[in-house]
Chains A and B, each alone.
Chain A
């Protein structure tokens, strides 16, 4: 079988500050035959997107393809003239990019954009193209295929847009389809539907696909071949099965280790916490918060949190999990007093905290520290590491310069950074280093509780895994309790004792970590858990994860009825859409907000 796509010794370079050329992709070769899916896997800076774009004969500003050859069929892409390239791109090779929300032009209808390539390349008339687009919409399981194209991009959901972009790419019946992190921006429960439809389309059309991703588990579902990239060079290449079962390269092994979900902490003194005689360290009662104007009862117009309750024991870790927009960050900000609760109470050691932080004492503020997701924006670029860590020491503990220097050295040691990093500016540090400083700043206050808001999600897998290790270690060594907020259930499982599942601002399930391995619990929890791809081939075909439809606002989901109603695969008509769900304690001790447990319990 001859290769549809062949890349030999590809080299891409950028111009450095002094005009010198720096290679960002060096000597990369791979090939894929018809109907094959080849995955390019790597972390940020591995050059995977640059390679993917080079397949289109395109390099971003400042980059140039400086060597090698790319063959699509018999065509040498790099030898094409400017004019020939216009006829080639989007015709024989097409592209699906990471963020569909950004890749669609906001001021044109979806249909105009989907059929643009077919019309541009004179492959068919507008009418024919429209008819074809509708067929592709159907095959991608998009709702309302006849009319969805008349809408504007902001009117449809992210998961739908991602599939619409795939439709756009398929319009020209390309020989090669490039998918660049096509599901990374999606929630895990949405991702699975999109993966399924991609896989089906690729199989049905016999197209050759290049699948770019950082996520080994996703790649395991999609790819026949894997090419592992690091710093622009190929580290390992081979059939998916072989790479996953017997990785030969050190780096591949470290990627796999980071992708495996491992439990990093053991539950703290089980017997003691079961009895829980003392009052909890942190307790939330009926916390409600939101945005917009407040009504007569002091309730905000757009509610993000609905009567959330939780309690946290000294030295333990509570994981909060949910999809984007579920209110988990607002919850952290409410606890910290940055976003005052409209109702309910936040108690620290039995002492009720003022909703707004300006009314809290310095001592209360010291005991609760917050660590933000994005270390790039959480550290002041104008300050040095020493200044960043020194401020809380002076502010809370009134440490002298000398004592502070010693304490800073100790803090850097705790987060496993060399002491000589102290005089450097935060802007010069790497992402992982910044996140460690971010944690060290929280530790500098000697807090009782650290609120970690998605602290690993902006990091590469390996770096993120190291941060998880660090958190687990800090937990063992220090008597600090963590609230660990994340969208990633395996990260949460790996460092937490208890887990709280947040959906649309409501606690739908809360319980011991070990109970979150596969249900049955709340249908949303089950969906969440069964949607996380596993690091083995064939998982996508086996998993039962399924939703009824995409979120649909036409159902009367508001009020006190179950918020998950319109997506729930096991909803019971007559019960779920009539009466609000009760909060029940299941056999395993989990509290679940759902009707279904009633029959079982």
Chain B
């Protein structure tokens, strides 16, 4: 039963990813302009344009092009960049680890922090601490990343001169240098993500704290910490993991602004470049990576929720 449910989730995620690929391809192929013409500029002769069109496979009907592209994606070859003429695979391959490092660092900082804030404000619900945290987190999720980033730069880089305003990571940097380099982008990303995650965690824990079994535990003489950690938390794992997944997926969007501001060579800034240069193969691949990452995180959260459900685990 458990395995069937998990398998079902995986199938649904795969199917959704397929739909996503279709949507992305459809939008990018409904281009009003001609990619070949655009690449070569107005001065190119019709013959050269036609040759390039042939080369790019633009003469084939849309569904064939879609299937070719999809096949490429599945075999790990999402095409060639129209601008740099390099394989998209290589361009992304160089950038992806950097994005993963940034996301990993942010997650490592934000998840524990958010869980702490969320659980604390749930435990002390309606106290002054909770109300203050409510207004603070509510405001934090409403602040645009570029405001956080600019203020952080002004304070830490311009005024205090503690940290660099752009993130350059050289391969032979020491740990201290690395920490300084990553401090500002990670701080900015955490700002929004922590608030969101903390609010959702609070809601999930409170939902459990309102249940009869928690009242029963109180009546057995259990203390608040025991109640939160031993009684409420095990039942809130599903929704909390879901909250983490949704918040971290927000990182994907937030990274676009942050990577741009701090000149960080990740996939998100690559995608912005692809938009400005209208490099469609690169753009498509980047979009698929972000959507795939979202689906993967939600899938993991779903599976954790299924596994953590005692009714499914002990039948």
A–B proximity contact (CB within 8 A)? yes
Q: Which residues of A contact B (CB under 8 A)?
A: 53, 56, 58, 60, 85-91, 94-95, 97, 99, 102-108, 116-117, 120-121, 151-152, 154-155, 168
CB 8 Å contact bits of B279-308 with A (1 = contact, 0 = none): 000000000000000000000000000001
Q: Which of A53, A105, A168 has most B Cβ within 10 Å?
A: A105
- In the bound complex, CA of A152 to CA of B314 (Å): 7
Query: Are A105 and B220 also in contact (CB < 8 A) when A152-B310, A155-B314 are?
Result: no
Give the contacting residue for B220; candidates A60, A108, A120; CB below 8 A.
A120
B217 beta carbon closer than 8 Å to chain A: yes
* B19-27, B208-216, B268-276: which lies at the interface: B208-216
- Given the known inter-chain contacts A106-B235, A106-B310, A107-B234, please indicate yes or no for A88 contacting B211, CB distance below 8 A: no
From B213, B219, B310, A89 is in contact (CB under 8 Å) with B219
Can you pick out 29 interface pairs between chain A and chain B where the beta carbons lie within 8 Å of each other?
A86-B222, A86-B223, A89-B220, A89-B221, A90-B219, A90-B220, A90-B221, A90-B222, A94-B219, A95-B219, A97-B212, A97-B215, A97-B216, A99-B212, A103-B213, A104-B216, A105-B216, A105-B217, A105-B234, A105-B235, A107-B308, A107-B310, A108-B231, A116-B220, A116-B222, A151-B314, A152-B311, A152-B314, A154-B314
Question: Contact at A102–B212, with CB atoms within 8 Å?
Answer: yes
- For the complex formed, measure the closest distance between the CB of A209 and the CB atoms of chain B, giving whole angstroms: 15
Known interface pairs A152-B314, A154-B310, A154-B311. Does A103 touch B212 (Cβ–Cβ under 8 Å)?
A: yes
Contact residues in B for A102 (Cβ distance below 8 Å)? 211-213
Provide the residues of chain B in CB contact with A120, threshold 8 Å: 220-222, 226
Contact A91–B221 (Cβ < 8 Å): yes
B218 at the interface (CB under 8 A from A): yes
In the complex, are the beta carbons of A58 and B314 less than 8 A apart? Answer: no
Say whether A117 contacts B218, CB under 8 Å.
Answer: no
Give the nearest-CB partner of A87 in chain B: B221
Q: Is the interface of B mostly helix, strand, loop or mixed?
A: helix
B219 touches A56 (CB 8 A): yes
B contact residues around A154 at 8 Å (CB): 310-311, 314
- How many Å lie between the Cα of A103 and that of B212 in the bound state? 5
Closest to A168 in B: B220
- Shortest Cβ distance from residue B241 to the other chain A in the assembled complex, whole angstroms: 14
B181-203: CB near A (< 8 Å → 1, else 0) gives 00000000000000000000000
Are A108 and B234 in contact (CB-based, < 8 A)? yes
CA distance A99 to B216 in the complex (A): 11
Binary flags per residue of B106-147, CB closer than 8 Å to A gives 1, else 0? 000000000000000000000000000000000000000000
Q: Are B231 and A105 in contact (CB under 8 A)?
A: yes
Contact call B235/A103, Cβ cutoff below 8 A: no
In B222-248, which residues have CB < 8 Å from any A CB? 222-223, 226, 231, 234-235
Measured CA separation A152–B312 after assembly (Å): 11
Cβ-closest chain A residue relative to B233: A107
A sample of 14 more A-B contacts (CB under 8 A), given A86-B223, A94-B220, is: A88-B221, A89-B218, A89-B219, A91-B221, A97-B212, A97-B216, A102-B211, A106-B310, A107-B235, A108-B231, A116-B222, A117-B221, A121-B221, A151-B314
Residues of A near B222 (CB, < 8 A) are 86, 90, 116, 120
Complex contacts, A53 vs chain B, CB 8 Å: 219
- Which chain B residue has the least Cβ–Cβ distance from A151? B314
Residues of B within 8 A of A (CB): 211-213, 215-223, 226, 231, 234-235, 308, 310-311, 314
Q: Could you tell me the distance in whole angstroms from the C-beta of A21 to the nearest C-beta in chain B?
A: 17
Q: How far apart are the CA atoms of A91 and B222 in the complex, in Å?
A: 11
CA distance A217 to B226 in the complex (A): 40
- A58 to B217, Cβ gap below 8 A? no
Shortest distance from the beta carbon of B20 to any chain A beta carbon, whole Å:
30
Q: Which residues of B contact A97 (CB under 8 A)?
A: 212, 215-216
Rounded to whole Å, the gap between the CB of B313 and the closest CB of chain A is 8
A58 CA to B213 CA in the complex, in Å?
15
A121–B219 alpha-carbon span in the complex (Å): 12
| Docked CA distance A116–B220 (Å) | 8
CA distance A129 to B31 in the complex (A): 73
A89 to B215, CA, bound (A): 12
Cβ–Cβ contact A104 & B213, under 8 A: yes
| Distance between B58 CB and nearest chain A CB, rounded to angstroms | 48
Instruction: Kindly list chain A residues whose C-beta atoms are within 8 Å of the C-beta of B217.
Output: 105, 116
CB–CB A106/B213 < 8 A: yes
Assuming the contacts A106-B311, A107-B310, A154-B311, asked whether A86 and B212 have C-beta atoms less than 8 A apart, the reply is no
Contact A86 B221 (CB under 8 A): yes
State the CA gap A311–B311 with chains docked (Å): 42
Nearest-neighbor residue (CB-CB) of A178 within chain B = B219
CB neighbours (8 Å) of B216 from chain A are: 95, 97, 103-105
Shortest CB-to-CB span from B121 to chain A, Å, is 15
Q: Please name all residues of chain B whose beta carbon is closer than 8 Å to the beta carbon of A155 when the two chains form the complex.
A: 314
- Report the minimal beta-carbon distance from B12 to chain A, rounded to whole angstroms: 19
Of all chain A residues, the one with the shortest Cβ separation from B237 is A107
CA distance A106 to B308 in the complex (A): 11
Chain B residues near A117 (CB-CB < 8 A): 220-221
The CA-CA distance from A7 to B276 in the complex, in Å, is 78
CB distance from A322 to the nearest CB of B (A): 26
Chain A residue with minimal CB distance to B219?
A: A95
Q: A102-B213, A105-B213 are in contact. Are A58 and B220 (CB under 8 A)?
A: no
A60 nearest CB neighbor, chain B only: B215
**Chain A hits for B226, CB < 8 A:** 120
The interface centre, meaning the residue of A56, A87, A108, A168 with most chain B CB atoms within 10 A of its CB, is A108
B221 CB to nearest chain A CB (Å): 4
Shortest distance from the beta carbon of A42 to any chain B beta carbon, whole Å: 20
**In whole Å, how far is B261's beta carbon from the nearest beta carbon of chain A?**
44
Name the residue among B215, B221, B234, B311 with the largest chain A CB count within 10 angstroms: B221
Q: Closest CB-CB distance, B274 to chain A, in whole Å?
A: 46
Residues of chain A lying within 8 A (CB to CB) of residue B221: 85-91, 117, 120-121
Residue with the highest number of chain A CB atoms closer than 10 Å, among B213, B220, B223, B314 = B220
Q: How far is the CA of A168 from the CA of B212 in the complex (A)?
A: 15
Measured in the bound complex, the distance between the Cα atoms of B218 and A90 in whole Å is: 8
Set of chain A residues within 8 Å of B212, measured between Cβ atoms = 97, 99, 102-103
B residues in contact with A89, CB < 8 Å: 218-221
List the A residue with the shortest CB-CB distance to B310. A107
Query: What chain A residues lie within 8 Å of B314 (beta carbons)?
Result: 151-152, 154-155
Report the separation of the CA atoms of residues A56 and B217 in the bound assembly, to the nearest whole angstrom. Answer: 12
Query: Which among B211, B218, B235 has the greatest number of chain A C-beta atoms within 10 A?
Result: B218
Chain B residues with CB below 8 A from A94, complex form:
219-220
Query: Whole-angstrom distance between the alpha carbons of A108 and B308 in the complex?
Result: 12
Compute how far the CA of A259 lies from the CA of B217 in the bound complex, rounded to whole angstroms. 34
Q: How many angstroms from the CA of A104 to the CA of B213 in the assembled complex? A: 5
Bound Cα distance A88, B221 (Å): 7
A152 to chain B minimum Cβ distance, whole angstroms, is 5
**Cα of A107 to Cα of B235 in the assembled complex, Å:** 7
The 8 closest A-B pairs by CB, nearest first: A90-B220, A90-B221, A102-B212, A89-B221, A117-B220, A103-B216, A105-B213, A95-B219
